[in-house]
Structure 1
Amino acid sequence: METTIIFCEECGHKNVVPLEALEDKSKPIKCEGCLDILRIVKRDERNPEVKVKKDDKDDTLF
C-alpha cells in the first residue's frame, strides 16, 4: 500500500495517509493529532516549499 505524508495546517501533525484515501472523495481525511479535517492543498511540484499565487492585476504603466 502506497502512502503519502500530509502535514496538518492547524496543529502541524505529520499524517501518513494511504493514496487510496486521497482518491476516495466520499470520506474526509482527519488529522491524527487534533482530529480536524485535512484540507488538501495542491502545491507546485517543482518546488514544494513555495505556494503558487497568481496576481490578477497588471502594474505596468503606459
Structure 2
Amino acid sequence: MPDPQDPAEVPGGETPPETDAERRRRRAQFLRELHEAKALRERVQPRRARAARMRQAMRMRTFRW
C-alpha cells in the first residue's frame, strides 16, 4: 500500500533528503518486520524438518542393497 508521505512516491522533481527521525522510523519498522519473519520461520521450521525426516525414511525403506 503506497504511503502518501513517502518521498519516493511523489511524482517528478527532486526528493527532499530524509530526516534522521524518518530514517529511524523506517529502520524500526524494518527491524520489526524482520523479527516477525524470523519468528514465523522458527515456528514453521519443525514441520519442514519432520517432512524431511519422513522423506528420508521413505527413501531408506525403498532402497535396495
TM-score (norm. length: structure 1) = 0.21
Name the structure where helix makes up a greater proportion of residues.
2
TM-score (norm. length: structure 2) = 0.20
Structure with higher RCO (Cα < 8 A, 6+ apart): 1
